[in-house]
Amino acid sequence: MTNLTAWVLLMPLLGFIILGVLGRAMSRQAVLTVAWSAAGLAFFFAALSFFSMLGTQPVTARVSDIVIYHWVSSGDFKLDFGLLLDPLSATMLMVITGVGFLIHIYSAGYMEGDPSFWRFFCFMNFFIFAMTLLVSADNLLFLLVGWALVGLASFLL
């Protein structure tokens, strides 16, 4: 379950990196393939994590926390960058990635003649990554990082 949460974030991030580095040299069809694959796989992993949350266990037993990086530690205080998956965040991950995937599909026709076709899909993948990071953050600082990245992605779009 925790690995699925990481994959939900990694798919759009990977799409963003690939399109950011190679997007200008790629054909329109290749850009669409990378962008749709990243968004579609993120939705697939979000759906898997959502359905793994369903069950007869109490909600507290269905909460999953994965630590990505131990940042600050002082006595009993520690600040980690991590992902938290509970039924609400799993639902929101499915909504974000599902709507993001549908926007990718619609935008293919809408952006057809645009010279910065690849850049739009690059930043759309970044936006989906930032939104999933915002929803799955396990502490306030990490949530603020996600919030700032959503603002940046909105500006770039």
Token output for 62: 């269905």
95, 149, 155, 157 from 118: Cα distances, Å:
24, 20, 16, 12
**pLDDT tens digits, residue range 125-157?**
999 999 999 999 988 888 998 999 999 999 998
pLDDT at 38: 96
Mean pLDDT of 22-41: 92
SS3 23: helix
pTM of the predicted model, to two decimals?
A: 0.88
CA angle, 57 then 61 then 62, to 5°: 85
Q: Give me the sign of the Cα torsion angle 22, 82, 63, 149.
A: negative
From residue 72, how far is each of 29, 77, 78, 80 by CA, in Å? 44, 8, 5, 7
